[in-house]
Amino acid sequence: MMNSSRKISLSMIVKNEEKYLRGCLESVKGIVDELVIVDTGSNDNTLKIAEEFGAKLYNYEWSNDFSEARNYALSKCTCGWILYLDADERLSDHSISELRKIKSSGKLTGCKCTVINPDDFNGKPNYMRYTRLFPNNPSVRFTGAVHEQIDDSLLENKYEIIETGIEIIHTGYNVPYEEIKGKAQRNLIILESEYEKDTSAYNAFQLANTYSILKEYDEANKYYLISVKGEIKNEYKAHAYLNLSDFELKRHNVNGALEFLNTGLQNDSSNPLLNLLASDIYLRMNLKEKALEFCKTAYRENKKIFSGLSKAELAVGIKPEVILSKGIYLSLFVGDKDNLNYFLPELMKENKRLFDVFEKLINNKTISDIDEIEIMGLISVDNIEGFLFLVENYADKLKALELLLAIGDKFKGNSRFLRTLGLIYSENRMYNESVEVFEKSLLVEEKDPAALFYLISVLVQSNQVERIPELLLFAEKEFGDIPEFNQKFKILKEKLSFILNKQES
């Protein structure tokens, strides 16, 4: 017989969580009535911290199955409600009043909560809807060895699942890539074993996500394709098609990328990342107005996620300045003043310091030494694309070069940055430096075919044509399978034939 339906048990499984556990337990202090913590083998201060908060502690031998461990924790809970959290999660402050209302109502339901995953490293926080609060019933149990689920069990037991405004902040993935990679490698072993037992579309989707984190893109592609053929939620399908499209674009297969993109948008046209990718694809197709249109849609849909209006099961947001930076340069590229006047004020609201820099570059105002120091701290992967476009079009080419050199250490592996730096060197008639930078840009992981055309142009201008035949061979080997490159490359070779023949004679 369960205790009052107006009390909540916090259910947790932990191992070596001294870094996070205190913050988690502080966030629910005075809200939950019972702390049930199942430890799977800690050898740090995790248990000591749990004892400070008066938790009921249980030991459990880890069996590579999160659901089994979660269900063991559920079996130790005695209150009518169960809230489950991980140690690296915190209940947001403004969720406390809603949680109190729900438990005081006495009506037992499954409650969807928003789990917010901040991402200060890549600018792509995601917002996921999970049932984290539900009735304590011995028949309600988790399923799935990784990414465990409770909804099916709740529905089988005739419980309603309702939407709530409760927010849980998940901090554990807001870390450098190496830490995320370690977690993904741990999960991969369990997921592969789970998939052998159950080849469901959902398990394929989770496998694909894990391979994608590990940058094993061929394997990720394989499982995304399996997942979209099965029964998974539309938001998940849209996410799968987003990645499939992005993989094709990285391979310079624009038509393949467009096909996957369109199918993804059919499943979820509100996905900001899909709309932003559409902007990239249409820009590659030289359809600038359409690229701008999708960029604006991406920003509007992104605002809904950040304002809490989106109730999607999986909603991935983007740092607003990423989209705004792109929107500003596309507006200038297209010559669309109306959209420029839309994006600029939005940037001013989001990041006044960045707005001031962009506004000076757009209007060819003087950039002071103080501005330059400001730029060194402001420019990041979130806004580099728009910044580079503005620098390329800034009238004072010597100052433009100064600005690029000031941030050079940050972006020495970024092909787009190197391309712009090479261009500005050449516009300042510093041809040797330009050649050196363009050559570096052809050695980075994501090579920019446009840099090769610029490099050949600079070699011709600086009368270093003897190096061109070697570059032409490199180009055919490296970019020969890109249709739009081949068209331009053919024209280039025809133009160069006279120069090269003249050199030979």
Report which of residues 445 and 296 the model is more confident about: 296
Q: Model confidence at 484, in pLDDT bands (50, 70, 90)? A: confident
- As a whole-number percent, the residues of the chain with pLDDT over 90 amount to 61
**Mean pLDDT value of segment 215-226:** 95
**pLDDT at res. 485:** 77
Contacts of 396 (CB under 8 A, 6+ apart): 364, 367
- In whole angstroms, how far apart are CA 266 and each of 260, 269, 292, 305, 414? 10, 6, 20, 19, 33
Q: Is residue 407 part of a domain?
A: no
More confident residue, 410 or 308: 410
Secondary structure of residue 251 in the 3-state scheme? coil
Per-residue model confidence (pLDDT) at position 36: 97
Is 368 inside a domain boundary?
no
Asked if residue 460 and residue 311 are part of one domain, the reply reads no
Running DSSP on this structure, what letter comes out for residue 25? Answer: H
CB 86 within 8 A of CB 172: yes
Same domain, 202 and 56: no
Of 170, 198, 232, which closes a domain?
A: 170
Residue 174 pLDDT: 66
Q: Where are the alpha helices (H) located in 307-395, listed in sequence order?
A: 320-334, 337-350, 352-362, 369-378, 384-392
Give the H/E segment covering residue 438: helix 431-441
Specify whether 163 is located in the same domain as 208: no
Same domain, 218 and 79: no
Mean pLDDT of 166-172: 88
Average pLDDT over residues 440-448: 84
Same domain, 59 and 128: yes
In a domain, 181, yes or no: yes
pLDDT at 110 over 80: yes
In this structure, the answer to whether residues 155 and 17 fall within a common structural domain is: yes
Regarding predicted confidence, which is higher, 107 or 366? 366
Write down the pLDDT at residue 2: 45
- Choosing from 123, 143, 170, the residue where a domain stops is 170
The answer to whether residue 470 is domain-embedded is: yes
Domain co-membership, 222 together with 253: yes
CATH number at residue 183: 1.25.40.10
- Same structural domain, 164 and 187: no
Q: Is the pLDDT of residue 179 over 80?
A: no
| 81 inside domain | yes
Range from 99-108, 238-247, 409-418 that averages highest in pLDDT: 238-247
Find the domain containing 43 and state its range. Answer: 8-170
Please give the C-alpha separations between residue 437 and each of 90, 411, 466, in angstroms, as whole numbers: 46, 12, 18
- 416 & 485 share domain: yes
What's the mean pLDDT in 149-175? Answer: 88
Reported as a pLDDT band with limits 50, 70 and 90, residue 3 is very low
The number of folded domains in the chain is 3
- Which pLDDT band holds residue 221 (cuts at 50, 70, 90)? very high
What is the mean pLDDT of the segment spanning 8-17? 96
pLDDT, one tens digit per residue, over 240-291 is 999 999 999 988 889 999 999 999 999 999 999 999 999 999 999 999 999 9
- Is 56 part of any domain? yes
287 in the same domain as 416: no
Q: Which CATH number goes with the domain that contains 462?
A: 1.25.40
CATH of the domain at 131: 3.90.550.10
Asked if 147 and 208 sit in the same domain, the reply is no
Mean model confidence pLDDT for the chain: 89
- pLDDT of 503: 56
Model confidence at 402: pLDDT above 80: yes
> Does a structural domain hold residue 421?
yes
Give the pair of three-digit tokens for residue 218.
């061929």
Residue 122, token pair as written in the block:
């890549």
3-state secondary structure labels for all residues of 266-320: HHCCCCHHHHHHHHHHHHHCCCHHHHHHHHHHHHHHHHHHHCCCCCCCEEECCCH
pLDDT bin (cut points 50, 70, 90) of residue 500 is low
Q: How many CA atoms lie within 13 A of 20 on its CB side?
A: 21
Contacts of 24 (CB under 8 A, 6+ apart): 12, 85, 86, 87, 88, 89, 90
Q: What percent of the chain has pLDDT over 70?
A: 94
d(CA 359, CA 3): 62
Q: Is residue 483 part of a domain?
A: yes
User: Which tens digits make up the pLDDT trace of 66-86?
Assistant: 899 999 999 999 999 999 999
The answer to whether 375 and 403 are in contact (CB under 8 A) is yes
Number of neighbours of residue 115 by Cβ within 10 angstroms:
18
In the predicted structure, residue 498 carries a pLDDT above the cut 70: no
What local confidence, expressed as pLDDT, does residue 1 receive?
37
> Residues 165, 222: one domain?
no
